[in-house]
Structure 1
């Protein structure tokens, strides 16, 4: 389980370290940095796929994602000054197993190069314990060089790293620690869900070729396959319970015809089940959330952005129960505007992190110095 998330220099997240729990609710007013925090988590996940540099390039390059205010924020009305420290976007997390730090900076490239907007990976570290420090490091990458700590101490690897290569994904040296490989697989398994499409052309509404499917895709196109996989694994009761709480007397069934899967919903009073194409937007969105949050084999982390969007108020309590049930199987982070959903989740034991911004960049509201998790960013 992740125990802390640290972000520095990414949009409004000038210097944020926040604690994470089995079920964490991220909230705050508009403009306080909730979406930036969600994006930063996704950027960390891209590192597990070796795509962090490409992800920043798609956002417009490093200059587009950097904090736009003064290097040392001083409140409303403060004017920017010339930077004295290296330009950096730094991301990291600690967990009860291994932690990771990623430092991205300006490219050292010929200005005539077509890749001048690509950031470079300046530093990567894999560590044990609550934060990175010399005694807890097991992998340390500085620019092109990588070293790993073995039984006999540090070993420098004979594999220079390119500016866009990740030590988690691209190391081929046989002395690289298996822990870093396991960490890469774990990060790559994080799942993010943000505003499912439910319009008439939504992939979730169409019949699809079905195979055993571990986790729901971002577009929900494999909804029926994930539901059938969960049922086949003997975990369908949790899905049935979630549907019953939201739509009393209803149940989902999967129709299969020559390998084509169709999700159908039986409702009381109707003579036939309704296909996914016939469901209301809110009903389909709730079923997509059920499949995302209660798969047969839960991922190590589920991050859900504004799951209450387009749901009727009568579905907020069932949604809270669904998120709570998911957190019993895996770690869940919920980003939400809904005060009702926050209250429902708080009553179920969720920890709430409220963000605020008053000219200093994003901060954790009422976070006292001793409540901020310990963290250390490595120098370059």
Structure 2
């Protein structure tokens, strides 16, 4: 699992290094930086998909995503002794993202290209990347280093140059992930690609999850829930149908979910006590549909190494939150889980689970900080040099 997540100069995350546990609950007031932390993690995942520059473009470009405060922070500003003001920049502009497990780590440094006459003069470039063995980067444990268009790998006690013409707009994962020459890069790329994010479940009348799904094995629910019926039936056939049924019973006592197959399409039926016929997904409430989506996502027969839920309590009645918490805790036995939440009842229920860590964020001088983390409390971390 991830042991450390590090972010520098991304929006309000001026310099944040977080320790992680099997189950992590991210909390904080509105505007404290929870969404920025979630977006930074998604941006980090895009490095393995080849879409980091496109993701930044969707955010308004690198200039929009960069820390907007002064380069150097001064305690006297917070005390009101001196006004907030900028000054001559001492270091290059850089947006940095990285993580580490007990076995390996990865970091990337993005910045502006050199001044040039081009319509893409502000398109972000990858300035440096590094892969290392162990919980934090040192000169002795670096395995792969990238500086601009050049990449090298450690071979025994020496460095071996691998490529010198890399595209500056794509990570090394999409360019040099060779199983023979660069096995570390390939393994790490595949690890990141298995991370899973859920934050876009629709429950409106036209939601894809309310429609029949093609009868094709679906061990991983799509991020928008469009294949709910197929994912549900896949769990029944190759997953843990008893645990899935228990989750439904836990949330809706006496209820059960069945299915029908018509002309190669699957339709779920929600059986509820007191009703003479089952309800289709087009008829169930928004909260019921959303809980079933979460159940299908968390009972996946193919658990990811990292599962991230952004405000899963949306549309759910407060009485469903304890059942949701039990569902999340059970999933954390198979995957490392992140939950970003505002719901005090859900947070309180999750905190009772062993291995759960609450990360409470707050703002100071415009930057996001982890409550209770002093200067000496953060995990060890070093960024790769450009």
The two structures have a TM-score, normalised by structure 2, of 0.95
What secondary structure is seen at the aligned counterpart in 2 of 1:278? coil
Deviates most, 230-239 or 118-127: 230-239
Match of 1:55 in 2: 55
CA RMSD of aligned residues (A): 1.5
Match of 2:109 in 1: 103
Distance in structure 1 (CA, Å) of the matches to 2:260 and 2:231: 13
Distance in structure 2 (CA, Å) of the matches to 1:91 and 1:274: 46
Deviates most, 327-336 or 159-168: 159-168
CA shift, 1:83, in A, is: 2.0
CA contact (8 A) 1:27 1:336 kept: yes
Match of 1:4 in 2: 4
- Hey, which bits of structure 1, 4+ residues long, moved more than 6 A? none
CA shift, 1:363, in A, is: 0.5
Over residues 206-241 of structure 1, what are the superposed CA-to-partner deviations in whole Å (9 max), with x where a residue is unaligned?
112131112111110011111111111141122111
Distance in structure 2 (CA, Å) of the matches to 1:107 and 1:190: 30
Match of 1:72 in 2: 72
| Aligned pairs for 1:133-148 within 5 A | 133-148=138-153
Residues 319 and 146 of structure 1: is their aligned pair in 2 closer, same or farther, counting only changes over 3 Å? same
CA contact (8 A) 2:17 2:381 kept: yes
What secondary structure is seen at the aligned counterpart in 2 of 1:318? helix
Match of 1:358 in 2: 364
Residues 234 and 39 of structure 1: is their aligned pair in 2 closer, same or farther, counting only changes over 3 Å? closer
Aligned residues: 379
Distance in structure 2 (CA, Å) of the matches to 1:205 and 1:262: 9
Residues 379 and 205 of structure 1: is their aligned pair in 2 closer, same or farther, counting only changes over 3 Å? same
CA contact (8 A) 2:103 2:135 kept: no
Match of 2:15 in 1: 15
CA contact (8 A) 1:57 1:117 kept: no
Residue 205 (str. 1) matches residue 230 (str. 2): no
What secondary structure is seen at the aligned counterpart in 1 of 2:47? helix
Residue 150 (str. 1) matches residue 155 (str. 2): yes
CA shift, 1:371, in A, is: 2.4
Distance in structure 2 (CA, Å) of the matches to 1:68 and 1:326: 37
CA contact (8 A) 2:239 2:299 kept: no
CA contact (8 A) 2:10 2:95 kept: yes
Distance in structure 2 (CA, Å) of the matches to 1:360 and 1:234: 46
Distance in structure 2 (CA, Å) of the matches to 1:28 and 1:173: 42
Distance in structure 1 (CA, Å) of the matches to 2:320 and 2:237: 27
Residue 44 (str. 1) matches residue 44 (str. 2): yes
Distance in structure 2 (CA, Å) of the matches to 1:29 and 1:158: 46
Equivalent of 1:188 in 173, 193, 200: 193
CA shift, 1:91, in A, is: 0.1
Residue 270 (str. 1) matches residue 275 (str. 2): yes
Residue 166 (str. 1) matches residue 171 (str. 2): yes
Match of 2:227 in 1: 222
Distance in structure 1 (CA, Å) of the matches to 2:228 and 2:300: 11
Equivalent of 1:333 in 338, 341, 355: 338
CA contact (8 A) 1:8 1:89 kept: yes
CA contact (8 A) 1:213 1:229 kept: yes
What secondary structure is seen at the aligned counterpart in 1 of 2:166? coil
Distance in structure 2 (CA, Å) of the matches to 1:85 and 1:140: 21
Distance in structure 2 (CA, Å) of the matches to 1:173 and 1:300: 22
CA shift, 1:46, in A, is: 0.5
CA shift, 1:158, in A, is: 3.5
Equivalent of 1:114 in 97, 111, 119: 119
Equivalent of 2:253 in 248, 255, 279: 248
Distance in structure 2 (CA, Å) of the matches to 1:306 and 1:325: 18
CA contact (8 A) 1:13 1:33 kept: yes
Equivalent of 1:375 in 349, 356, 381: 381
Distance in structure 2 (CA, Å) of the matches to 1:22 and 1:119: 33
Match of 1:32 in 2: 32
What secondary structure is seen at the aligned counterpart in 1 of 2:197? strand
Over residues 307-343 of structure 1, what are the superposed CA-to-partner deviations in whole Å (9 max), with x where a residue is unaligned?
1111111011011101101101110001111121111
